[in-house]
Amino acid sequence: MVGRFELGSRSGFARHDHPTHQLAWAASGVLTMGVGDAIWVLPRSRALWIPAGLPHDVVAEGNTTMLSLYFDPTGCPVDWPAPEVVDAAGLLGHLIEHLAGELTTEQRRRAEAVVFDLLRPLPVTSLAVPLPADERAARVAAALQADPGDGRSLSEWGRHAGASGRTLARLIERETGMGFARWRTQLRIAAALPRLAGGATVTRVAHEVGYATPSAFVAAFRHTLGAPPGAYFSGLPPEPRGRRDPSGRSM
C-alpha cells in the first residue's frame, strides 16, 4: 500500500502508529519525523523505516510531498526493531515514486521485492531533545524553540522564568538529564537541521541558531551528531564518537 500526502509548511501528523511497517520519504520538500525524544530530518536523499506499532509524528518543513510505503509485518523480510534511515538518493527514491503510480498486483509485488533489496541503513545519529515539564524550565524551552539564537545566560533566563539561575540549572538537569549548555546545544542543532535540509547555508544557519562563527557551529554539529553538516546530509559515515573539536571543548 502507498500513501501520498501533500503537506503545507509546518503541517503534518500528530503522534500515531500503524499496524504495518512504514517507509516514509519526501518526494519534494523536507520531513521531520519524531519517535519519542528522537528526531530525524529527511531531505529527498533519505527515507525512514518505522517498525509497525511504533508511535511517531511528522512535520513538513516547507511545502512537501510525502510518499509512504506500508508493509504487512507478516512475512516481511525486514525486521528492524527500531527506526532506520536509508539512502533514497538513487534507485530507491525512483522506485518509491514508481510504486505510487498505477500498477497491477504483480507489478507491485515485483517492485516491492526490489525495495527490500535496496534498503541499506545509513550510519547517522538521531537527535534526542527532551523537554522539561516544570513550568519554569518549560518557559525557557519554549522561548529557545521560538528563537534558538537567544543567547541569554542562565541567570537572565532565571529572571525570565521566575527562578534563580542555580534553581533553573538544577531543574533542567533533573528533567532532561543534561546540563544547561548541552541541552541548549541540542535545541539549537534540532532547529538547525530542517534549515540546512531546506538548503540554507551553514553561515546563515549558524547565525540564526546562536553561533558567532560558522566554525563554532560546525564543531557543535559534529560533536552532537558525529559528522559535519555536509557529511550528515550526504550519508557519509559519521566520525568516531570519541573525536572532539580541535580546541578540545565540548560545544
Length reported for the chain: 251
Q: Same structural domain for residues 8 and 114?
A: yes
> Has residue 63 been placed in a domain?
yes
Last residue of a domain, one of 118, 152, 180: 118
The answer to whether 107 and 153 are in contact (CB under 8 A) is: no
Residue-number span of the structural domain to which 46 is assigned? 2-118
pLDDT of residue 231: 81
Residues 138 and 187 in one domain: yes
Q: Where does the pLDDT of residue 250 fall: very low under 50, low under 70, confident under 90, or very high at 90 and above?
A: very low
Same domain? For 68 and 142 the reply is no
Answer yes or no: is 250 within a domain. Answer: no
Three cell numbers at 44?
Answer: 529527498
The domain tally of the chain equals 2
Do 147 and 44 fall into the same domain? no
- pTM of the complete model: 0.74
Q: CATH number of the domain at 206, please.
A: 1.10.10.60
Q: What pLDDT is recorded for position 241? A: 41
Contacts of residue 125, Cβ cutoff 8 Å, sequence gap at least 6 = 224, 225, 226, 227, 238
Are residues 31 and 139 part of one domain?
A: no
- The answer to the question of residue 245 being in a domain is no
Whole-angstrom distance, CA of residue 213 vs CA of residue 190? 18
Counting other chains too, the contacts that 71-77 makes at CB distance below 8 Å and 24 or more residues apart are 71/20, 71/21, 71/22, 71/23, 71/112, 72/20, 72/21, 73/19, 73/20, 73/21, 76/21, 76/116, 77/116
pLDDT at position 245 is: 35
Measured torsion, CA atoms of residues 162, 156, 205, 139, in degrees rounded to the nearest 10: 0
17 in any annotated domain: yes
User: Is pLDDT above 70 for 240?
Assistant: no
How far, in whole angstroms, is CA 33 from its chain's centroid? Answer: 6
